[in-house]
Structure 1
Amino acid sequence: MKGKNEEQVEEETRLNKFISHNSNYSRREADKIIEEGKVSINGTPVKNLATKVKPDDIVRIGKKIIKEDKNRMYTVIMYNKPKGELVTKNDPQGRKVIFDSLDKKYKHFMPIGRLDYSSEGLILLTDSVDVANKLMHSKLERIYKIKVNGEIHKKVEEAMLNGLELEDATTGAHEKSKIKSMNFEPFIAYQIISNNKNFSKLKVAIAEGKNRELRRFFGHFGLEVMDLKRFEFGGISLNNLPTGKSRYLTKDEYKDLRLFLNENE
């Protein structure tokens, strides 16, 4: 059991996080108004950026009281994963993991889904178990750009349109994977960008995030996935975020995320 003081510490929230989660200020903007002395707690102006807010504190920006939005007391960030990093906390083989590149303040965050070692692109991470679970198990659209070492023929298109059930879905899987069979739902959409015998490029949208799903799907047709990049998840897009960099969600992205979470309570 935890003592009273330990529970209280867990409930405290860093001031800039409290402001950014419950107002229209970003964390950077929150830091600025704190340093400018525009923020007070229980009537006392605060300029220390390390200040924590307790549940019963009254926080004001100027004369306006900032009330806690229970639906938004979490943080979600986006990371543009490069090839050659694992989406895990640590690797027994000593390979590089995403947390080697991310700022140490994100070390307790949970990745929402996975991209394998050779894949790149958008990874969402959060400090909320509930948010992570709801997004991971959602049917939200995931959009990828893919390059395969061959031609996208009619049977591949038919499977993208109608779905596919495989007893043996091991081609394209990791050699140590225990998942042998797999059911692939119809793709939400696909666009063939180039198509020839040497290699083809396409953009696909799917609503699942199974283990090496796309590598297994195309592997069944003798097509090795040479490049795979996820650039959108649930309407949240990489846009111009450089490889190896991270950012917080925007106000609009948080708004859309809250709507989704509220609808899926």
Structure 2
Amino acid sequence: MTSEKDNENLIRLQKFIAKAGVCSRRKAEQMIADGRVSVNNNLITDMGFKVDISKDKVKVDNKLIELDNNKIYIVLNKPSGVITSVKDEKNRKTVLDLTKDIKQRIYPVGRLDYDTSGLILLTNDGDIANKLMHPSKKVYKKYLATVEGIPNELELDELRNGIIIDNKKTAKARAYVVDKINNDAVLSIEIYEGRNHQVKKMCEMIGHPVKRLKRVSIGEIKLGDLKVGEWRELTERELKFLKQL
């Protein structure tokens, strides 16, 4: 007979991996599917498998992982030319190279393109990472896009009302011109989806290709005056926003 206390100790394997700060829950599911996870030295590929956090030994790539209650959340101002990844097979600089003085194991939430700069969140809290990235939470990400030419209101309305890219319509966006530099415009674009190269593709579709792209906020988390290549811990207000997701 299983006691109520025993039930409290049982959690899904992918949730355990996320809570241990290895990666997001979605990526943990992929690790399980790829046969990279074992429990008590038994290979597990069942997404519904539950582990007992009080006694089970979980390994990823044959390395023991444990729950880390010391959570950390930081904002990095990623420079262009840096990979949003834990490691890179081409030995290019990654966001972890810029945060080497952080002792805890952390990883980036979502991604920014190699040539895109700005705000990236890094953490060891898999639950928070999963919620931030899930479209159902509708967490808006704000970008400043320098584009070729000056979009008119009809073109901006296309972005605002949703536009077909990759055979699928985007969700409604917030878009307006914030500055004009010679024959180029700086657009503020806010989206809550995370499709591949989404902002670049949206601007391309209205005839104004992106020349430079920078992310300046994720929900209530702001880049502010943080210098390129530097990082900071989240403020109490920003942490409260994350906890409310």
TM-score, normalised relative to structure 1: 0.63
1:256 offset after TM fit, Å? 2.2
Q: Deviations over 1:24-51 (max 9, x none)?
A: xxxxxxxxxxxxxxxxxxxxxxxxxxxx
Q: Tell me the residue number matched to 1:114.
A: 111
Alignment partner for residue 191 of structure 2, among 200, 203, 206?
Answer: 206
Q: Tell me the residue number matched to 2:89.
A: 92
> 5 Å matches for 1:120-135?
120-135=117-132
> 5 Å matches for 1:216-231?
216-231=201-216
Extract unaligned runs of 5+ from structure 2: 1-39, 42-53, 59-64
| Equivalenced residues, count | 187
- 2: CA distance, partners of 1:155 / 1:185: 17
1:6 offset after TM fit, Å? 6.9
> 5 Å matches for 1:157-236?
157-166=156-165, 169=166, 181-187=167-173, 189-195=174-180, 198-236=183-221
1:122 offset after TM fit, Å? 0.4
1:190 offset after TM fit, Å? 2.3
1:239 offset after TM fit, Å? 1.2
1:5 offset after TM fit, Å? 10
The change in CA–CA distance for 1:11 and 1:124 in structure 2 (over 3 A counts) is closer
Sequence identity, in percent? 31
Alignment partner for residue 239 of structure 1, among 224, 232, 240?
Answer: 224
SS at 2:244 equivalent: helix
Q: Deviations over 1:199-222 (max 9, x none)?
A: 111112222221110001011223
Give the residue type in structure 2 aligned to 1:186.
K
Q: What do you get for the CA RMSD once the two structures are aligned?
A: 2.7
Whether the aligned pair in 2 keeps the contact of 1:150 and 1:196 (CA below 8 Å) is no
- 2: CA distance, partners of 1:254 / 1:127: 14
Whether the aligned pair in 2 keeps the contact of 1:145 and 1:229 (CA below 8 Å) is yes
| 2:213 is the alignment partner of 1:249 | no
1:77 offset after TM fit, Å? 1.1
Give the residue type in structure 1 aligned to 2:142.
I
Give the residue type in structure 1 aligned to 2:170.
F
1:111 offset after TM fit, Å? 1.3
The change in CA–CA distance for 1:115 and 1:192 in structure 2 (over 3 A counts) is same
1:236 offset after TM fit, Å? 0.7
Alignment partner for residue 75 of structure 1, among 52, 72, 82?
Answer: 72
Give the residue type in structure 2 aligned to 1:10.
E
1:106 offset after TM fit, Å? 5.8
1:96 offset after TM fit, Å? 1.5
SS at 2:214 equivalent: strand
The change in CA–CA distance for 1:182 and 1:106 in structure 2 (over 3 A counts) is farther
TM-score, normalised relative to structure 2: 0.68
1:229 offset after TM fit, Å? 0.8
Q: Deviations over 1:78-126 (max 9, x none)?
A: 1110111010122222222111111253673221111101111000111
Which ranges of 4 or more aligned residues in structure 1 deviate by more than 3 Å? 2-7, 9-13, 104-107, 194-197
Whether the aligned pair in 1 keeps the contact of 2:159 and 2:202 (CA below 8 Å) is no
SS at 1:94 equivalent: coil
> 5 Å matches for 1:3-152?
10=66, 17=70, 74-105=71-102, 108-137=105-134, 138-152=137-151
Whether the aligned pair in 1 keeps the contact of 2:86 and 2:108 (CA below 8 Å) is no
Q: Deviations over 1:158-202 (max 9, x none)?
A: 212211123xx4xxxxxxxxxxx3421111x22212357831111
The change in CA–CA distance for 1:12 and 1:100 in structure 2 (over 3 A counts) is closer
1:11 offset after TM fit, Å? 5.0
SS at 1:255 equivalent: helix
The change in CA–CA distance for 1:12 and 1:162 in structure 2 (over 3 A counts) is closer
The change in CA–CA distance for 1:204 and 1:107 in structure 2 (over 3 A counts) is same
